[in-house]
Amino acid sequence: MKNPFLLIFILLFFSCRSEKKETFHSSGGSIPLQIDYAQGFSLEKSPSGFTVVKVSSPWPNSETTLTYALIPKERMARTIVDKDEFDAIVAVPVERIVVTSTTHIPSLESLGVADRLVGFPDTKYISSKTTRKRIDKGFVKELGTNELINTEMTLALNPEVLVGFGIDGQNKAYETLKSSNIPVVYNGDWTEETPLGKAEWIKFFAPFFQMEQKGDSIFKKIETAYVEAKALAAKAENIPTVMSGALYKDVWYLPGGKSWAAQFISDANAEYLWKDSQETGSLSLSWETVLEKAREADYWISPSQFATYDQMQQASPHYRQFKAFQRKKVYTFAHTLGDTGGLLYYELAPHRPDLVIRDLIHIFHPGLQPNHQPFFFKPLQ
C-alpha cells in the first residue's frame, strides 16, 4: 500500500471494531462477600472484578433495596451496564467524594482516603482533628445542610459520588444531583441495631476505593478487640443495674431494650433496667415511671448532654431522688468534644465500639481494667 497513513487508519479502524464490550448485570455469577453483623447491606464481587452493593436498609422500615454498580475506571468505556438495573453506577476508585454524615468520616480516615473528601454539609459538626485541618485549609467545602444541600456548590466540586443518608428517601437535592449525572448512594449505618453491625459498614466504603482487603482487616481488629472486651466483662461476678437518659420538656427519653446503646450495656455485663422493652430506638416516659423503676439503679449512663451535677439540678430537682445521682455514679460522653464543640461520641463511637465497651467495663467493673483511661464516658463533674 502506497499510503502509509491510510494503512494506519485501516488498522486502527478494525482494531476498534474488534474490541469486545462486556455486559454487566446485578445477577450474573457474582460471589457474596462476607458480612457478619451488619443487616443493612451486602456486597457481591463478579469474577471479572465488578462489585454490586445492595443497601436493604437505607432508612428505617424501608421496603426498598437500592442496588449500586461499581465499575473499575479502566473498564468503564468497554462495559455495557443497564442503567435501569442499578440505582447508581460509580467508577472506582473514587478520587473525589462528598459524604453527609459525621459517622462517615472515621471510615474514610481509617481507610486512608480522607484527602478525597471534597465537600460536607454542616462542617461545623465534624470533630475529627484530621478532617478539621482539611476544612480549615479549604480542602473540604461547606455545602449547607443535608436536607437542603447546596446543589450548585456540590456540582462545582465535581464529585464522583455523593454518599447520602435520609429518613425516607425523599431528598429533592439528591434528585437534582442525580439528574446532573452525580451518582448518589445511600448509607444506612445509623439504622443498625448492634455495635459491631454499625462498625462493619466500613466494608461498605472500602469497595469505592478498591480497598476491600484493608476494610476487612480494619474491621477484624475492631471485632477482635470488642469480643475480647466482652469476654473480659463476663468474668465479673457482680452485675450492676443501669439507668440512662434524661428529661426533655417533661418527657424522659432513654434507649429501648433492643437498641444499640442497650446492647453495649449488656455486653459490658450490666443489667439495663429497660432491657425487656422491644424498641430499637428510644422510649418516651414520664419521670415518675423512671423513678419507680430506677430509683435504686447503681449507675446512670448518658444523662442526655449534661456535663455537671449542677446543670442537672438546675434543669430538674427530680434528678436528686436517684441513688446514682446521690452517690455520684453518673457518667457522660459530653466531656469528649471536638474543636468546634461537637460530641466526638456521635461521630466515632459507631466506628469504634471497642472503645465504648472498654469505657463501660471500666465503670461497671473497675477491677477488671485498673489502668484503663476513659475515652468517651467520664464522670459527671
Which stretches of the chain drop beneath a pLDDT of 70? 1-29
Q: Which residue, 345, 244, 246, is CA-closest to 300? A: 244
User: What structural domains does the chain harbor?
Assistant: 18-222 (3.40.50.1980), 234-379 (3.40.50.1980)
In whole angstroms, give the CA distance from residue 254 to residue 116: 37
* Alpha carbon of residue 272 to chain centroid: 24
Q: What is the pLDDT of residue 4?
A: 54
φ, ψ dihedrals at 133, nearest 5°? -60, -40
Long-range contacts formed by 337-341: CB under 8 A, 24+ apart: 337/127, 338/126, 338/127, 338/128, 338/129, 338/132, 339/127, 339/129, 339/132, 340/124, 340/125, 340/126, 340/127, 340/132
Under a CB-based contact definition with an 8 Å cutoff, are residues 380 and 328 in contact?
Answer: yes
Q: At what angle do helices 353-364 and 260-267 cross, to 10 degrees?
A: 50
Q: What is the pLDDT of residue 167?
A: 84
Q: What is the pLDDT of residue 36?
A: 97
Q: What is the pLDDT of residue 11?
A: 45
Q: What is the pLDDT of residue 305?
A: 86
Say how many C-beta atoms besides its own lie within 10 A of residue 194's C-beta: 18
In whole angstroms, give the CA distance from residue 14 to residue 328: 81
Q: What is the pLDDT of residue 15?
A: 46
Q: What is the pLDDT of residue 374?
A: 95
Q: Could you tell me if residue 146 is left (phi over 0), alpha (psi between -120 and 50 degrees) or otherwise beta?
A: alpha
Say how many C-beta atoms besides its own lie within 10 A of residue 49's C-beta: 12
Q: What is the pLDDT of residue 26?
A: 57
Q: What is the pLDDT of residue 21?
A: 65
